[in-house]
Structure 1
Amino acid sequence: MELKNKQRIALSVFFFLSGICFASWTSRIPNLKNIFQLSYAELGTILLTMPIASMIGLPISGWLVARFDSRVPLSIAFTLLGVSVFGIAFSPKVIFLVMSLGVFSFSLRILNVSMNTQAITLQKMFDKKINGSFHGLWSTGGIVGLLFATLLLRWNIPMNIHLSIIAAITIVTTIVTYRFLVTNDRATSGNKIIFGKPDPYIGYLGLLIFFAAICEGGMFDWSGQYFHDVIGVEVYTTGHLLFMVWMALARFASDYLIVKLGMPKMYALSALLIIVGIFIAIVFPYYWPTLIGFSLVGFGTGPVIPMTFLLAGGSRKYSTGMAVSLLATYSIVGMLIGPPLIGYISEALNLKLAFITFALAAFMLIPISQLFFRHKRSLE
């Protein structure tokens, strides 16, 4: 087997594993809310720990991908991720949960930058588009993680046993797979943030990924709670699961759809699907209509972040690693600001109306993407 194919498989494993870890944590949010007797606002405040930790990781992640081959911070971050999942599983008090979530988010910040740097490097080795498939595997990992969580919920397996299994798998897989990752991908230039006039290229992409991440992060953390509180079902992971299934399908299909439709139309289509899906779930708050709505949101959300990270490789101002690091900041902040925002709006109004936030965020993809492609054409 060619080296680049081995490297692609190894990186695919990490994308898949990352999806499992994230879905496993989010699947247990309703349990944590009940264990610690949290209100919507209190849960939102705890979730606010995550964007704060992510911002702390901004300069560190940029420095790591500039200083080392990206597989080094990737492996360190995955090991820390496993440790933090153990911490979430066994937190006796809220303060320990907050600390564990901080480490969890900090690790996500570093591994997202490292994985996407590897993905863009590998994309340059292949003639066909492969970037969307990596993000599709992240979503597939999320599906597997949710299926596993759903089974354990049905069997009444405690949360600490569930998350301990995930943590152990994460650490062991990292140790085994590390040596197969891409090497010698450290850029020699463009590794420093250049202060002065903002770069419109990165700025527009950052806003696109920020609003997409608000939808994605909010759906990850609150879809289970929506089915639990608004729809009123005991096995509350089904909506989250179907959202992830359609997100994965969209990401696997995104490479083909981009060729057929082009990226400008893909951004508009994604926005439209998210808006329609959210309003179906709000206007018809029943089991099957909400499943359909969440499916549309998943298919709409799926392509946006992979497309945007892929465009980062075209930056003329920054290296691939630094451009990805900057965009990952927008991505993680959006993904992790979305959940607490929904919590506060739910406390003030209700959870159903709070979901309108996702439709508003999706709408912003249309004008911002048009501005970006207009700017991109001016550079050509």
Structure 2
Amino acid sequence: MKTKQINRIALSVYFFLSGLCFATWASRIPTLKASFNLNDAQLGSILLVMPIAALIGTISSGWLISRFNNRDLLLFSFLFFAFALLGISLVNSALLLIFILALFSICMRILNIAMNAQSITLQAFYHKNIIGSFHGIWSLGGVIGVLFSTIMVEYNVIIQNHFLIIALVTILATIIAYKYSLTKDKSTTGNKLIIGKPDPFIFYLGLLIFFAAICEGGMFDWSGIYFKEVVKEDVFTYGYLLFMIFMATSRFFLDRVLDKIGMPKLYIISGLLISTGTLTTILFPQFWTALIGFCLVGIGVSAIFPMTYILAGKSKKYSAGMAISIIGTYAIVGMFIGPPLIGYLSHTFGLKNAFFILVFCGVMFIPISQLFFKTQKANL
């Protein structure tokens, strides 16, 4: 087997583990909400910790990727990521939960930037789009995570045992993947942040990531609660599971779809699917119609992050890692605003009405993406 294929498999393992761990945490948010006796506003406040901590991870990652190979960053960030996941299930006070969520979020941000920077480097070896498949594998990890969580919830397995299993799998797989990861991929140019007038290329991509973060963050953090409290489904992971399955499946076809219709049209289609799916869930909050709505949203959000990262890798001003780190700041702002805002709106107007935020975000992909392509033809 060629070296680049071995490197691709190793990186795929990291993407899978990232999706697995994140879905494990997100799918058990209703469990944590109940165990700490939190209302929606209180949960929204605790969720604020994650984007604030992720901002620290984003800032530090720009410095780290300029000094270390991504494989080393992936090894250490994933190990701490696994320990933090286990810690979430063990803490017994809100203060400790806030601390461990901060660590979890910092590690997640560093490993995500390192993974995506390495995926852009690997894509150059293949001379074709392969980034969509990596994000598909992330989503597949998410699907497995939700499936496993559903089994744990169905059979009343305590969250401590659940998270311990996932943490051990993550630690073992991380150590094995490290041995076969791409080496010496540290960028030597474009690693310095330039302060001044915003670069339109990065600015528009940042806005796209901003609204994508609100959509994905809203679905990750609130879909389980929506199914439990609005749809009135005891096995609250069903909606999240279908959302992840359709997002994963769509991402595996993304590279082919991009070759067929191109990014400008796909941003429009994605925005329409997100808005339509969310409206379906809001207007018809019954089991099957809500499932259909969540499936449409899953298809819609599947392409946004991969497409935007591909475009970021074409920056003439920054290295791929630095460009992803910069637009990652916009994602943090989206995560900072989105899930907590849904919590506050839900506390005041009800969770069903709070989901109109996602409808608005879906619509916004259309004008922003078209403005980007119109003004950046010379860069692409």
Report TM bin, short chain: over 0.9
Alignment partner of 2:129: what SS?
Answer: coil
Is 1:372 the counterpart of 2:372? The answer is yes
User: In the alignment, what sits opposite 1:21?
Assistant: 21
Letter in structure 2 aligned against 1:139: S
CA deviations 1:23-42 (Å, max 9, x no partner) are 00011100111101001000
Deviation at 1:282, TM superposition (A): 0.5
Quote the Cα distance in structure 1 between the aligned partners of 2:28 and 2:273. 27
SS of the counterpart of 1:125? Answer: helix
Distance (Å, rounded) in 2 between the aligned partners of 1:111 and 1:331: 15
Query: Aligned equivalents of 1:167 and 1:333: distance in 2?
Result: 28
Name the CA distance, whole Å, in 1 between partners of 2:282 and 2:190: 46
What is the CA-CA distance between 1:217 and the residue it aligns to?
1.1
Which SS does the other structure have where 1:59 is aligned? helix
Q: How far is the alpha carbon of 1:224 from its aligned partner?
A: 0.5
Paired letter, 1:27 = S
CA drift at 1:336: 4.9
- Residue identity (%): 53
Matched, 1:347 2:347: yes
User: Which residue of structure 2 lines up, in the alignment, with residue 363 of structure 1?
Assistant: 363
Q: Quick check: 101-110 or 162-171, which moved more?
A: 162-171
Q: Determine whether 1:175 maps to 2:178.
A: no
1:90 is matched with 90
Matched, 1:41 2:41: yes
Distance 1:341 1:331, change over 3 A: same
TM-score (norm: length of structure 1): 0.98
Contact conserved, 1:51 with 1:332, CA < 8 A, in 2?
A: yes
CA distance in 2, matches of 1:324, 1:15: 16
C-alpha displacement at 1:375, in angstroms? 1.7
1:315–1:323: 8 Å Cα contact kept in structure 2?
A: yes
1:103 and 1:352 mapped to 2: Cα distance? 31
CA contact (8 A) 2:52 2:332 kept: no
1:118 aligns with 2:112: no
Distance in 2 between residues matched to 1:322 and 1:27, nearest whole Å: 31
8 Å CA contact 2:83, 2:167 repeated in 1: yes
What is the DSSP-based 3-state SS (H/G/I as helix, E as strand, rest coil) of the residue aligned with 2:194? coil
Distance in 2 separating the partners of 1:22 and 1:153: 17
Distance 2:275 2:227 in 1: 19
Is contact 1:21-1:166 (8 Å) kept? yes
Alignment of 1:69-148 (within 5 A): 69-148=69-148
The worse-fitting range, judged by mean Cα deviation, of 125-134 and 15-24 is 125-134
Partner of 1:202: 202
Deviations 1:74-126 (A, max 9, x none): 11110110110111010111111111100010001100110001100000000
CA contact (8 A) 1:231 1:287 kept: yes
Amino acid at match of 1:76: F
Query: TM-score scaled to structure 2, two decimals?
Result: 0.98
- Please give the alpha-carbon distance, in whole angstroms, between the structure 2 residues aligned to 1:32 and 1:316: 44
Distance, in Å, in 2 between the alignment partners of 1:273 and 1:3 is 39
CA distance in 1, matches of 2:241, 2:37: 25
Aligned residues: 380
* Aligned partner letter, 2:205: L
Alignment partner of 1:10 is 2:39: no
Residue aligning to 2:272: 272
The offset of 1:173, in angstroms, is 1.4
Matches of 2:59 and 2:223 in 1, distance apart? 32
Distance 1:378 1:20, change over 3 A: same
CA contact (8 A) 2:48 2:340 kept: yes
Query: Which blocks of at least 5 consecutive residues in structure 2 are unaligned?
Result: none
Whole-angstrom distance in 2 between the partners of 1:241 and 1:333: 26
AA aligned to 1:125 is F
CA contact (8 A) 1:152 1:162 kept: yes
Hey, what does 1:65 align to over in structure 2? 65
Match of residue 51 from structure 1: 51
**Amino acid in the other structure paired with 1:58:** T
The one-letter code of the counterpart of 1:281 is T
Give yes or no for contact 2:345–2:354 (8 Å, CA) kept in 1.
yes
Q: CA deviation at 1:330?
A: 2.0
- Equivalent-residue separation in structure 1 for 2:88 and 2:75 (angstroms): 20
1:332 Cα deviation after fit: 3.7
Structure 1 unmatched runs, 5+: none
Aligned to 2:331: 331
Is the 8 Å Cα contact of residues 277 and 294 (structure 1) preserved in structure 2? yes
Q: Distance in 2 between matches of 1:76 and 1:28?
A: 25
**1:54 is matched by which residue type in structure 2?**
A
Q: How far apart in 2 are the matches of 1:245 and 1:44?
A: 26
| 1:274 maps to amino acid | I
* Distance in 2 between residues matched to 1:344 and 1:127, nearest whole Å: 46
1:212-227 alignment, distance < 5 Å: 212-227=212-227
